[in-house]
Chain A
Amino acid sequence: MENLKQELKAKIIENLNLEDFKVEDIDDNDSLFGDGLGLDSIDALELIVMLDKDYGIKISDPKKGKTIFESIQTMAQFIMDNKTK
């Protein structure tokens, strides 16, 4: 789980081009959207594709992203519970 969280942080910075952030800047419980990392609905779509491509999890309703991507913690937990690869 700890490895997965580090992996997610690195991927988010890389995929979403968050040049101003480093892995150690992101706390497990920081909110990814709004005041925290400042991600938006387009980023949520990017993350949905990442879940599919890297962990074999398909999400068909983009609204579900809101709860899954609340923080690195919730995201990692969701992946642990649902991953198929």
Chain B
Amino acid sequence: MSKGVAVTGMGIISSIGNNIEENYQSLISKKQGISKIKKIQTIHKDVIKVGEINYTNKELITLLELPKTNNYSRTALLGEFAAKEAVKNANITNINKYKTGLISATSVGGMDKTEKYYYSQFEETKNRKYIASHDAGDASKKIAKSLGITDFVSTISTACSSSANAIMLGARMIKAGKIDRVIVGGSDCLSKFTINGFKTLMILSETDCKPFDENRTGLNLGEAAAFLVLESDEVVKKENKKVLAYVSGYANANDAYHQTASSENGEGATLAMQKALRVAKIKPTEIDYVNAHGTATPNNDHSESRAILNVFGAKVPDFSSTKAYTGHTLAAAAAIEAVYSILAIQHKVLFPNLNFETPIADTALVPKTEVTKKEIQHVLSNSFGFGGNCSTLIFSKT
């Protein structure tokens, strides 16, 4: 197998837990984090179901020990919280001992503040500090500064596949010897912008979402942030690092079909999975678990099912979507699912696809619906987004 990009630390915050351990416990106890909107000030409060994170902004500011004058968006707060856990988890004490970068991903950036102070910042000066935190790059800059990373810092936004591409760029840079260590992941908070945006597409489910079910009616949105620490073989060796898993395969392809919808036969997704398998130099039969994109929209799950059949034929591996736990966390989705994929390898366990009852008629795929113990060598994780972006990552055991 191809080695060379080690995952040595992880951090996560989602609606099912504020750290790795809490997320893991929720996953194995089938505890989902979807409920009616409680915190966001919107007309859809108490109506639309989402995966909200328990901590308020105020609590996060206290936990991160930020000054009162800070201009953090919720995306930056969540991102910094998860990134710090990842760095701690990787036992890094001197970040600049090796050439270290940060690649984050977001779709909404600081939209939560911009929509809140849309008109009022023209009248009152006190909220103008958030003007600078609107840009997608702002959260990455803040996270990098808090970690002491000063040089290679970047941000990716490819809608719902964003953080898969952040992980992929990080892995490619390490493989190419451009960098020794890189913190990769993504963060997206919930905002009126995205909730209403997905509502206009009429793909929000009124109930708990049902990935891969014939009677699925759409997705639940969620908010989350997750980061991985990737290190080169050299750093792992020098520091005698514990390796959680390897990033062994990655690929990105474009469906080139429609601005938002996936093609009927899942061509982009098929290409992404096939390319990732080639990069990992493994056969489809060697994949032990697929963490599917599985948003529970009629379009995605059908198209992804087709793509899975295209790649795996009659031998479809165990698969599930964890979106029913967390909701679809947009740019953070691939990063939180990377964490779940690695937890599956570490704990030798498959996480169930909640709320599933009836297979989709013409593809008939049945996901895993129970917590299942199993030795796992390779996990394949899919993430697709608007603009035809399809990305696949493969994580392998050490």
**Direct contact between the two chains A and B in their complex (CB within 8 A):** yes
Point out residues on A near B: beta carbons under 8 Å.
40-42, 45, 48-49, 60, 62
B261 lies within 8 A of A45 (CB): no
B202 lies within 8 A of A48 (CB): yes
A45 lies within 8 A of B202 (CB): yes
Question: Does any Cβ of A come within 8 Å of B42's Cβ?
Answer: no
Q: For the complex, give the distance between the alpha carbons of A12 and B84 in Å.
A: 51
Question: Does any Cβ of A come within 8 Å of B260's Cβ?
Answer: yes
Chain B residue nearest to A62 in the complex (CB):
B202
Knowing that A40-B258, A48-B202 are A-B contacts, what are 10 other residue pairs whose CB atoms are under 8 Å apart, sorted by A's residue number? A41-B258, A41-B261, A42-B259, A42-B260, A45-B200, A45-B201, A45-B202, A49-B200, A60-B202, A62-B202
Q: For the complex, give the distance between the alpha carbons of A45 and B260 in Å.
A: 13
Q: Which residues of A contact B260 (CB under 8 A)?
A: 42
Q: Which residues of B contact A62 (CB under 8 A)?
A: 202
Could you list 12 examples of A-B contacts with CB < 8 Å? Answer: A40-B258, A41-B258, A41-B261, A42-B259, A42-B260, A45-B200, A45-B201, A45-B202, A48-B202, A49-B200, A60-B202, A62-B202
> Interface residues of A: mostly helix, strand, loop or mixed?
helix
Chain B residue nearest to A48 in the complex (CB):
B202
Chain A residue nearest to B299 in the complex (CB):
A41
Q: Which of A41, A48, A49, A60 has the most CB of B within 10 A?
A: A41
Q: Which residues of A contact B200 (CB under 8 A)?
A: 45, 49
Q: Which residues of A contact B261 (CB under 8 A)?
A: 41
Q: For the complex, give the distance between the alpha carbons of A82 and B260 in Å.
A: 30
Q: For the complex, give the distance between the alpha carbons of A60 and B202 in Å.
A: 8
Q: Which residues of A contact B201 (CB under 8 A)?
A: 45
Q: For the complex, give the distance between the alpha carbons of A60 and B258 in Å.
A: 23
Q: Which residues of B contact A48 (CB under 8 A)?
A: 202
Q: Which of B200, B202, B261 has the most CB of A within 10 A?
A: B202
Q: For the complex, give the distance between the alpha carbons of A49 and B259 in Å.
A: 20
Residue-wise, chain B 168-207 has the 8 Å CB interface mask toward A (1 for contact) of 0000000000000000000000000000000011100000
Q: For the complex, give the distance between the alpha carbons of A62 and B258 in Å.
A: 17
Q: Which residues of B contact A49 (CB under 8 A)?
A: 200
CB proximity of B47 to chain A, nearest CB, Å: 14
Q: Which residues of A contact B259 (CB under 8 A)?
A: 42
Q: For the complex, give the distance between the alpha carbons of A42 and B260 in Å.
A: 9
Q: For the complex, give the distance between the alpha carbons of A14 and B251 in Å.
A: 41
Q: Which residues of B contact A45 (CB under 8 A)?
A: 200-202
Q: Which residues of B contact A41 (CB under 8 A)?
A: 258, 261
Q: For the complex, give the distance between the alpha carbons of A60 and B260 in Å.
A: 20
Chain B residue nearest to A61 in the complex (CB):
B202
Which 4 A-B pairs rank lowest in CB-CB distance, beginning with the nearest? A62-B202, A45-B202, A45-B200, A45-B201
Chain B residue nearest to A44 in the complex (CB):
B202
CB proximity of B30 to chain A, nearest CB, Å: 30
CB proximity of A18 to chain B, nearest CB, Å: 17
Q: For the complex, give the distance between the alpha carbons of A45 and B202 in Å.
A: 8
Residue-wise, chain B 22-63 has the 8 Å CB interface mask toward A (1 for contact) of 000000000000000000000000000000000000000000
CB proximity of B387 to chain A, nearest CB, Å: 14
Q: Which residues of A contact B258 (CB under 8 A)?
A: 40-41
Chain B residue nearest to A46 in the complex (CB):
B200
CB proximity of B48 to chain A, nearest CB, Å: 14
CB proximity of B296 to chain A, nearest CB, Å: 15
Identify which of residues 252-281 in chain B touch chain A, using a CB-to-CB cut-off of 8 Å: 258-261
